[in-house]
Structure 1
Amino acid sequence: MTSYTESQLAATIDHAILKPELTRADLDAELDVAAEWKVFSVCVRPSDIPHAVARLQGTGVAVGTVIGFPHGTTSTAAKVAEAGQALADGAVELDMVLNIGMLRSGMDDAVESDIRAVVEAAGDHIVKVIFETAYLDDEQIGRACRLSEAAGADFVKTSTGFAGGGATVEHIRLMRASVGENVQVKASGGVRGFDAAVAMLEAGATRLGTSAAATILGAARRQEGGGPASSAVDESSY
């Protein structure tokens, strides 16, 4: 297993703050965790963007959000409007959920059009496309990868963290093999320990969506200091 330093791992983490029941105090606590551990970004609920941008100003932590979350079934027009508002509020990355039912129905043109509309609305900003791999077979995952790439997405991403399963090494490998070198892969859902994080990166992910940044990076810090890096994978949460 490749050795990753705390700073190397931090640079891959989108710290997820997406649970619907979180209070403003909960949100602030998680934003402070992101700033303390110097993660790449936070991924917050759309209504939390302005507050997150203000609180994280000067920390170097970027603010991202979700579009059409968590089911992907809102209209394309609604996703485009949501994307525009998110960017106006200060988000710099968008994680959109593709229309899962349409993908499973073989409605490839509609799926690609839906993604492309959000990509175009995002302009120069990063767009990640969430598949919800727990609901898909390998053929559908590969097809989702190709449609996302054709639509101009920057990343393909495993999961919302709110379905029955999360990222797996096998799905990361499949997704990495199904897109070109200009498209990156994000592992999310159940990545809650150091070993799990490293396994996803070794399989081809370049970004990790997790609510366990402190756990993962604390383990990396202990490892750098000569201690053990404990690991855990909890498929029940983001």
Structure 2
Amino acid sequence: MGPVDHVVTSGTFSLDGGTWDVDNNVWLVGDENEVIVVDAAHDLEKIATAIGGRRVVAIVCTHAHDDHVNQAPALSDRFDAPVYVHPAEAPLWAMAHPDRKPDHDLCDGDVLTAGGIELHAITTPGHSPGSTCLHVPELSTVFTGDTLFQGGPGATGRSFSSFDTIIDSIRHRLLTLPGDTTVRTGHGDSTSIGTELPHLEEWIVRGH
């Protein structure tokens, strides 16, 4: 078990009356004793197996689209761990879990620690109102959820999203990170800040 473990889970994403098959990246950050889970998606048992006997410090949701949070309450119950979500995600969270609220707000600048590794919350709205990335300086890594992917920004064509806002977030909050920062995404392959930075203007032209 390294400082970052990775599980790919499969399920569906539903919003605005449509449902799509998706594979999600679930990230575990910590050491052999304790861990933070980033985005509890689809497969409770697969995530639980990756956690093993470790203490779960927190379940952090980069945003509250159902494919990223559908196992958060169940994982919380099993490991007695609090769920963190940005408060602006409340309407999306309520669609997925109408009978349960998150345990804690995840606000810009918050720092969560597992196994001595600090995860710094960076609020990056656009894909959704409270989308949040998690920067881990000592690992030169940022977990971007669905805000930044290999090849461009996350989707903004559905409810509660804004293209202009996501571009602002990426430009001012993510592309200012060191170029060698690894970008670990909510879906698909990882990339780096330095790889994506030169394409910002292309995305803006393409997006409009």
Q: TM-score, normalised by structure 2?
A: 0.32
Q: TM-score, normalised by structure 1?
A: 0.29
Q: Which has the higher helix share?
A: 1
Higher relative contact order (CA 8 A, sep 6+): 1
